Amino acid sequence: MEVTIYPIKRAARRYPAAFWGSVGFLAVLLTLALLAAYLTPYPADASGQMHFEQKLLPPSLRHLFGTDSIGRDIFTLVIYGARLSLISAFGVVGVALLLGVPLGLIAGYKGGFTENVIMRVCDAFLAFPPLLLPIIFTAALGPSLKNAIIAVAVSWFPWYVRILRAQVLAVKQAPYITASRAMGISSLRILYNHVLPNSFAPVLVQATLDMGYAILTVAGLSFIGFGARPPAIEWGLMITSSRATFLDFWWTAFFPGLALFLTVFAFNLSGEGLRNILNTGDVL
Amino acid sequence: MTQTLLTVEHLTVSAGQTPLLQNLSFTLKKKETLGLVGESGSGKSMTAWSLLGLLPPGVFVQSGKIIFKGDDLRRFSQAQWRVLRGKGLAMIFQNPQTAFNPLFTVGKQMDNAIAAHFDETKKTRRERAMFYLRQAELSDSGRILKSYPFQLSGGMLQRVSIALALSLEPELLIADEPTTALDATIQFQILNLLQKLQKQFKTAMLVISHHFGVVSKLCTQIAVMYNGRIVEAGLKSDVLNQPLHPYTRALLASRPVNLLSGQTLKTIPGTPPAAGTVTDGCAFAPRCSQRFELCDKAVPPELISNNRRVACFLKPKYDAEKITD
């Protein structure tokens, strides 16, 4: 497969609204999350302050998204919740890449027995239903956001191993790999300089797409009590705690859910855009 | 005295039970140039790969010796191989467009290769690269270093690969079909360049080609290969003017150069055997116009005299004077 990287300008013209819109949304979300203390109206609410006198107020100018059952401003909580969601997105994908990329490179480049061992271990991981393995891991490690991230990452890394290995198998046949070997360049350097850059594009696309699913999965784990625990502020957790109220006070579940939806959607769109820009459509 | 640089002795290379190179022997002295000629599948490239220790998976050296500057390469460790490749033996490839990584500049790739062999500062490495690019007649060497492979033409890229190979100061340069992927006018320029640089740097050279023109321009010695064996070898003038093996004569007769207007191109009937075909007799016998009973029964032994080698049963019948076509 040949990877063509379009200059940014041309990419912007070819994939205008969706890609740049979603990247923009994520950038704004990241800024809000980082500067939550300055950009939210009631930062104290995020550190556990309660106002029972103003509980379950509907959305208004004072409280853009309304307030929850203990009177906290939901807008503030949603912005603070973005922190944990983004941490889980980057955490899960980061840890999974850290495990998957070296293993995929080695499996594809070395071949033979090494490859068989790595790939069979991956197959074993992939034999479990997607949410079951993280549940088993968090049950073993103890429920916390950190453990949820590790659990999801550990049950996902085999996907990266598989994608990268398939790419490496194709790239290592390239004449410039042989040429580098004929010039006496060491295997490690060849892997790092030639094999990895030429096989990474599909992994990058998959990783971006996976960020959305990572947020969903971690939120799902939090929802069923295996992820973040109160008083942490996390979107999945917010939806859980609104179970008792959302039938009468829709905003308590709607806004965390909307934030979750939009973020996952934006990650997906930017993954799609990246796929087009990096021309990896034939692989993924 | 010229010293022997490379000796290949009775080299047999196989894929499983299938022999790809059989009983191959040749020597190359310092500063000498040898051309390997043959059709596709005759084992020319496989010879180069065995010299570099880069045989494809499943292909291995079964017996024989490869001695480079007195060291038996078959006993080399990975680390020794890494030093040898590039600095001892450097290779120029058939298709320059694919011999470079598309994601990095030519300069970075040259720098990587130089850094692997020379303990030099970044600045000295750059000067080294620029020097050899200029030797390869690329005047705007600064711009070339900053270019990505797709920004350069095939001819320019082949000059860059030649510069890259020479910048590692190899003692033997292997050129595997160095001009096949280029168009005719560029081919000529590249051949002239290789000829000039070989004289200038006094590098020994092994040229692999299916083209007698290429080999005769660059080499002082020629070896003709057929089905994984050398069937005839000798000085260029001897092989071209007095070919002894029927295969060599048939090859020479089918060059387009021989064509007068209105003639049809002579060809050798039949097709070359698939790589690794094992025969009881001479592998060329089925296509040979002069075959007789013995040809199918035994593999002709190599007859060696006066720097001339030929593996054909007909040879004793010839006297040098009487050779006519």
Closest CA to A81 of A70, A93, A72, A92: A72
Q: What is the radius of gyration, based on Cα positions, of chain B?
A: 21
Interface test with A, best of B87, B94, B101, B117 (most A CBs within 10 A): B101
Which residue numbers of A have CB closer than 8 Å to B's CBs? 2-3, 111, 174-176, 178-186, 189, 193-194, 197-198
**Cβ-nearest to B98 among A176, A182, A197:** A176
With a cut of 60, say whether residue A2 has pLDDT above it: no
- DSSP output for B178-227: TTTTS-HHHHHHHHHHHHHHHHHHT-EEEEEES-HHHHHHH-SEEEEEET
What's residue A12's pLDDT? 55
Percent of chain B predicted with pLDDT > 70: 96
Decide if B205 contacts B198 (C-beta within 8 A).
Answer: yes
With a cut of 90, say whether residue B299 has pLDDT above it: no
Closest CA to A234 of A247, A209, A217, A246: A217
Domain range list for chain A: 25-49+59-278
pLDDT-based confidence at residue B315 (cuts at 50, 70, 90): low
Decide if B104 contacts A193 (C-beta within 8 A).
Answer: yes
Q: Which residues contact B46 (CB under 8 A, 6 or more apart)?
A: B13, B20, B21, B55, B59, B228, B275
Is the minimum CB–CB distance between B83 and chain A shorter than 8 Å? yes
Q: Using CA atoms, how far apart are residues A94 and A97, in angstroms rounded to an integer?
A: 5
pLDDT in tens, A131-143: 888 999 998 998 8
pLDDT in tens, A256-274: 889 989 998 888 888 888 8
More confidently predicted of A37 and A185: A185
Mean pLDDT, range B220-228, rounded to an integer: 92
Quick one: closest CA in B to A197, which residue? B103
More confidently predicted of B195 and A237: B195
Range of weakest confidence among A135-139, B193-197, B271-275:
B271-275
Q: Is B306 left (phi over 0), alpha (psi -120 to 50) or beta?
A: left
User: Starting from the edge strand earliest in sequence, which strands make up the sheet with B172-176, in order?
Assistant: B89-92, B172-176, B204-209, B33-37, B221-226, B229-235, B308-310, B303-305
pTM of the predicted model as reported, rounded to 2 decimal places = 0.77
pLDDT in tens, B108-132: 999 999 999 999 999 999 999 999 9
Mean pLDDT, range A149-174, rounded to an integer: 92
Closest CA to B66 of B24, B99, B17: B24
What's residue A57's pLDDT? 74
**A107–chain B nearest CA distance, Å:** 15
Q: Using CA atoms, how far apart are residues A105 and A163, in angstroms rounded to an integer?
A: 10
Q: How many CB atoms lie within 10 A of CB B263?
A: 8
Is the minimum CB–CB distance between B164 and chain A shorter than 8 Å? yes
What's residue B36's pLDDT? 93
With a cut of 80, say whether residue B2 has pLDDT above it: no
Please give the CATH architecture assigned to the domain spanning A25-49+59-278.
Answer: Orthogonal Bundle (1.10)
Mean pLDDT, range A127-133, rounded to an integer: 87
Please state, in angstroms and as integers, the Cα–Cα distance from residue A175 to each residue in A179, B92, B99, B102, following that order: 6, 11, 5, 11
Q: Using CA atoms, how far apart are residues B136 and B156, in angstroms rounded to an integer?
A: 9
What's residue A6's pLDDT? 54
H-helix or E-strand containing B143?
helix B141-146
Say which amino acid occupies B60: F
pLDDT-based confidence at residue A53 (cuts at 50, 70, 90): confident
What's residue A9's pLDDT? 57
What's residue A1's pLDDT? 41
Is the minimum CB–CB distance between B116 and chain A shorter than 8 Å? yes
Q: What is the distance between the terminal CA atoms of chain A, rounded to a whole angstrom? A: 12
Is the minimum CB–CB distance between B125 and chain A shorter than 8 Å? no
**B209–chain A nearest CA distance, Å:** 18
Closest CA to B81 of A184, A175, A176: A184
Q: What is the radius of gyration, based on Cα positions, of chain A?
A: 22
Mean pLDDT, range A25-39, rounded to an integer: 86
**A21–chain B nearest CA distance, Å:** 28
For the CA atoms of B193, B90, B93, B143, the dihedral, rounded to the nearest 10 degrees, stands at: -60
- DSSP output for A177-218: HHHHHHTT--HHHHIIIIIHHHH-HHHHHHHHHHHHHHHHHH
Q: Using CA atoms, how far apart are residues A162 and A156, in angstroms rounded to an integer?
A: 11
- In three-state secondary structure terms, B48 is helix
pLDDT in tens, B172-190: 999 999 888 888 888 999 9
Quick one: closest CA in A to B90, which residue? A183
> In whole numbers, what is the pLDDT of chain B averaged over residues?
87
Q: Using CA atoms, how far apart are residues A116 and A120, in angstroms rounded to an integer?
A: 6
pLDDT in tens, A59-73: 887 778 878 777 788
pLDDT in tens, B27-59: 999 989 999 998 888 888 899 999 998 888 889
Range of weakest confidence among A30-44, A132-146, B64-78:
A30-44
What's residue B323's pLDDT? 42
* Contacting B residues, span 202-241, partner chain A, CB-CB under 8 Å: none
More confidently predicted of A283 and A265: A265
Q: How many residues does chain B have?
A: 325
What's residue A8's pLDDT? 58
pLDDT in tens, A242-258: 888 878 888 888 998 89
- Residue in the structure block whose two tokens are 């799609």: A272
With a cut of 90, say whether residue B275 has pLDDT above it: no
Range of weakest confidence among A26-30, A51-55, A136-140:
A51-55
What's residue B308's pLDDT? 85
What's residue A165's pLDDT? 94
Decide if A239 contacts A221 (C-beta within 8 A).
Answer: no
pLDDT in tens, B238-256: 899 888 899 998 888 888 8
Range of weakest confidence among A20-24, A178-182, A244-248, B59-63:
A244-248
Say which amino acid occupies B209: S
What's residue A14's pLDDT? 62
**Cβ-nearest to A183 among B57, B104, B113:** B113
Q: Using CA atoms, how far apart are residues A38 and A222, in angstroms rounded to an integer?
A: 27
Is the minimum CB–CB distance between B87 and chain A shorter than 8 Å? yes
> In whole numbers, what is the pLDDT of chain A averaged over residues?
84
Q: Are strands B221-226 and B33-37 parallel, antiparallel or unpaired?
A: parallel
- Asked if the Cβ–Cβ distance from B98 to A193 is below 8 Å, we say no
- In three-state secondary structure terms, B70 is coil
Q: Using CA atoms, how far apart are residues A206 and A200, in angstroms rounded to an integer?
A: 10
**Cβ-nearest to B91 among A2, A111, A182:** A182
